[in-house]
Structure 1
Amino acid sequence: MVDYLVVGLGLAGTAFCETLRRNNKTFIVFNDQSQTSSRVAGGLYNPVILKRFTLSWRADEQVKIASDFYKNLEQFLNVQFYENQVVLRKFASIEEQNLWFEAADKEKLKPYLDTNLVKSYNKALNVPFGFGKVLGTGKLNTKILFNAYVKWLKQENILCQDTFDYNSLVIQPEYVEYKGLKAKNIVFADGFGLMKNPFFNYLPMQGSKGEYITIEAKDLKETNIIKSSVFLIPLGNDLYKVGATYNRGLIDNETTEDSKEELLKKLKSLLNCEYKVMGQEAGVRPTVKDRRPLVGKHPKHKNIWILNGFGSHGILIAPWASKALYEQIEHQRPLLVEMDIIRFSKN
């Protein structure tokens, strides 16, 4: 018998597995790569909602945990995927500059909004009103992270790459059993796959399809992450990721011409240089109607748990929520009511 079965290996599943490893718990992971949102994401960690200059939900708590978590994970895996990188928010007007200063004066936002505005410095960017600099930001190369973690799981022989068969899960009072494997607990971190999960599909997940394009712009020579109506994320070698779209209710991973055109239209207002599209990706974010995570215990089974619903803030939320769930399971520490699935009690 192992301590845990974990279903799903996006940001939520990886963060929870790593929390288990650091606490010397035994586990086996199931992942069929059917959910792609974590892999195709832009990889940004940013505590500020830049559309309206507000702090994202409990970001001040999450930043402290996430930074150490990813640095330690880099050391363990002996790969580099975590990078502190400046985000510059393009101002559309003088009025937006004034709103920036008003926000920067608020106590919780002071650590993240630099009051020294950045003048336009790159002729390839159309930025007549300059930028605001966001602090405490950066990016993860999620593909490097996931590939390295999968490699380690395979070495330990604790990864099953088959699709999880919910009908084969046998629930006993003190453990669960799945095709001959026994575990004290099972945690579902299956992203938008929750919609097919009979234990938790009563929860109000909506899903939001996001698409990115990758461009090559040899004259751009930009090293900062730029936020205008889209994010422009440097990848190196004159390549940049541009995104993302938000299409609620669309639940497939197929790229579309409409989303590509939407991104190109927004990009046109930012760039003054030539570029060409090199690729396009899509994934469905696990979003919830109240924009809060889905964490907690099944209403009837004490050994079945969920870790899900991070939306577009998974990089910051995942280590923090994983820690909270682990402490709930192992030490009975109560979850925040805001993210506990008890708020959606099943009748």
Structure 2
Amino acid sequence: MVDYMVVGLGLAGTTFCDTLRRNNKTFVVFNDRSQTSSRVAGGLYNPVILKRFTLSWRADEQLPIATDFYTKLENFLKVRFDEKLNVLRKFASIEEQNLWFEAADKEKLKPYLDTTLVKNENLGLKVPNGFGKVLETGKLDMKFLFDSYETWLQQENLLYSETFDYDQLLIDSSFIEYKNIKATNIVFTEGYGLMQNPYFNYLPMQGSKGEYIVIKAKDLNERNIIKSSIFLIPLGNDLYKVGATYNRGQKDNKTTEEAKRELMTKLDSLLDCTYEIVDHEAGMRPTVKDRRPLIGQHHEYHNLWVLNGFGSHGITIAPWAARSLYDRIESNVSLLEEINIARFT
């Protein structure tokens, strides 16, 4: 008998499991790695929507929680996956510079938008109008984070590397049982895999396929994250991750030549140096129609819960959302209406 079963081990599953660990709750995890969006993601945390120079949803509340969460997780696992890097937003025109300064005057954006323009000194970049620097940003090495956490789970015999069979889930009023394991609650953190879940597939998840390419550019020598029409993310050893595309029509994890061409076209408008493509990845983001997470309790079975739908700002949202669900289950703290799945029931 354990306190929790968790199904899925992407960003939602990992942050919820570690919230359980920190609160001395017992749990087991089922994961088959069928959902790839968290693993292939760029790993950026950035509080500003750089297309419009606005604060992302509740970022000022979520970012401090996320920063503290990942620092403590690094210390627990004795690894380093969080790299503090500035994001430089390429200005397409003088008008965009002016919009940047207008945004930087707003109270909530002041901590995140540097008002000193950054001149481009990298000969490998085409940036005639300079950059704006975003503060409190960086990137997580997502694959290393997940691999490190999986290793710990395996050492503790808490991980079942298998596909969860919903038909074998037995639900009682006081517990749930699956393959001779009993738990008080089960939390589904399956990303876009939620669409196959018979208990929660009524929720309006749209899904958005994202594709990235990884390039090698020996003459670029850029240490900052560059944002133009795409993100250029330094990985070290002359490697850079470039992305991402957004495609709501395709519902799979397969890479496409169309997306590669789109990324290359945007990249060619930014780079003034040669490069070669060394990798190409794709994953389905768990996006929701109203762009808010899916968190809450099943409308019929009170010990079934869901944590999902973080979209493209998942790294910042996840620790806050995991804590929100934990407090709801353990202390009956009400969820915000805008994240509670009751809005769709």
After superposition, the C-alpha distances for 1:175-212 in whole angstroms (9 at most, x for unaligned) are 10111110000000000000000000000000000000
Q: Structure 1 counterpart of 2:51, which letter?
A: K
Q: What's the counterpart of residue 277 of structure 1?
A: 277
Are the aligned partners of 1:206 and 1:249 in contact in 2 as well (CA < 8 Å)?
no
Report whether the alignment pairs 1:72 with 2:81: no
After superposition, the C-alpha distances for 1:65-106 in whole angstroms (9 at most, x for unaligned) are 000100000011011101111000000000100110111111
Are the aligned partners of 1:234 and 1:241 in contact in 2 as well (CA < 8 Å)?
yes
Q: What's the counterpart of residue 297 of structure 2?
A: 297
Q: What's the counterpart of residue 253 of structure 1?
A: 253
Q: Following TM superposition, by how much is the alpha carbon of 1:282 offset from its aligned partner in structure 2, in angstroms?
A: 0.2
Q: What's the counterpart of residue 44 of structure 1?
A: 44
Q: Following TM superposition, by how much is the alpha carbon of 1:234 offset from its aligned partner in structure 2, in angstroms?
A: 0.2
Are the aligned partners of 1:13 and 1:189 in contact in 2 as well (CA < 8 Å)?
yes
After superposition, the C-alpha distances for 1:209-250 in whole angstroms (9 at most, x for unaligned) are 000000000000000000000000000000000000000131
Q: What's the counterpart of residue 238 of structure 1?
A: 238
After superposition, the C-alpha distances for 1:251-284 in whole angstroms (9 at most, x for unaligned) are 1111000000000000000000010111100000
Report whether the alignment pairs 1:99 with 2:99: yes
After superposition, the C-alpha distances for 1:97-139 in whole angstroms (9 at most, x for unaligned) are 0110111111111110001110111111000000000001000
Report whether the alignment pairs 1:225 with 2:225: yes
Q: Structure 2 counterpart of 1:70, which letter?
A: Y
Q: What secondary structure sits across from 1:307 in the alignment?
A: strand
Q: Matches of 2:338 and 2:57 in 1, distance apart?
A: 10
Q: What's the counterpart of residue 130 of structure 2?
A: 130
Q: Matches of 2:5 and 2:216 in 1, distance apart?
A: 42
Q: Matches of 1:167 and 1:75 in 2, distance apart?
A: 39
Q: Following TM superposition, by how much is the alpha carbon of 1:171 offset from its aligned partner in structure 2, in angstroms?
A: 0.6
Q: What secondary structure sits across from 1:247 in the alignment?
A: coil
Q: Structure 2 counterpart of 1:298, which letter?
A: H
Q: Structure 2 counterpart of 1:295, which letter?
A: I
Structure 1's consecutive aligned runs of 4 or more residues displaced over 3 angstroms after TM superposition are none
Q: What's the counterpart of residue 5 of structure 2?
A: 5
After superposition, the C-alpha distances for 1:288-332 in whole angstroms (9 at most, x for unaligned) are 000000000001111000000001111001100000000000000
Q: What's the counterpart of residue 153 of structure 1?
A: 153
Q: What's the counterpart of residue 119 of structure 1?
A: 119
Q: What secondary structure sits across from 1:250 in the alignment?
A: coil
Are the aligned partners of 1:87 and 1:135 in contact in 2 as well (CA < 8 Å)?
yes
Q: What's the counterpart of residue 185 of structure 1?
A: 185
Q: What's the counterpart of residue 307 of structure 1?
A: 307
Please, what TM-score do these two structures have when normalized by structure 2? 1.00
Q: Matches of 1:113 and 1:174 in 2, distance apart?
A: 50
Report whether the alignment pairs 1:85 with 2:85: yes
Q: What's the counterpart of residue 30 of structure 1?
A: 30
Q: What secondary structure sits across from 2:312 in the alignment?
A: coil
Q: Matches of 1:98 and 1:344 in 2, distance apart?
A: 41
Q: Matches of 1:310 and 1:337 in 2, distance apart?
A: 15
Q: Matches of 1:268 and 1:129 in 2, distance apart?
A: 17
Q: Matches of 1:251 and 1:158 in 2, distance apart?
A: 31
Q: What's the counterpart of residue 16 of structure 1?
A: 16
Alignment of 1:50-69 (within 5 A): 50-69=50-69
Q: Matches of 1:251 and 1:306 in 2, distance apart?
A: 21
Please, what TM-score do these two structures have when normalized by structure 1? 0.99
Q: Matches of 1:129 and 1:120 in 2, distance apart?
A: 8
Q: What secondary structure sits across from 2:129 in the alignment?
A: coil
Q: What's the counterpart of residue 319 of structure 1?
A: 319
Q: Matches of 1:48 and 1:141 in 2, distance apart?
A: 20
Q: Matches of 1:341 and 1:83 in 2, distance apart?
A: 34
Q: Matches of 2:196 and 2:11 in 1, distance apart?
A: 19
After alignment, is 242-251 or 4-13 more displaced? 242-251
After superposition, the C-alpha distances for 1:32-54 in whole angstroms (9 at most, x for unaligned) are 00000000000000010000000
Q: Matches of 2:28 and 2:174 in 1, distance apart?
A: 18
Are the aligned partners of 1:225 and 1:233 in contact in 2 as well (CA < 8 Å)?
yes
Q: Matches of 1:335 and 1:265 in 2, distance apart?
A: 43
Q: What's the counterpart of residue 329 of structure 2?
A: 329
Q: What's the counterpart of residue 216 of structure 2?
A: 216
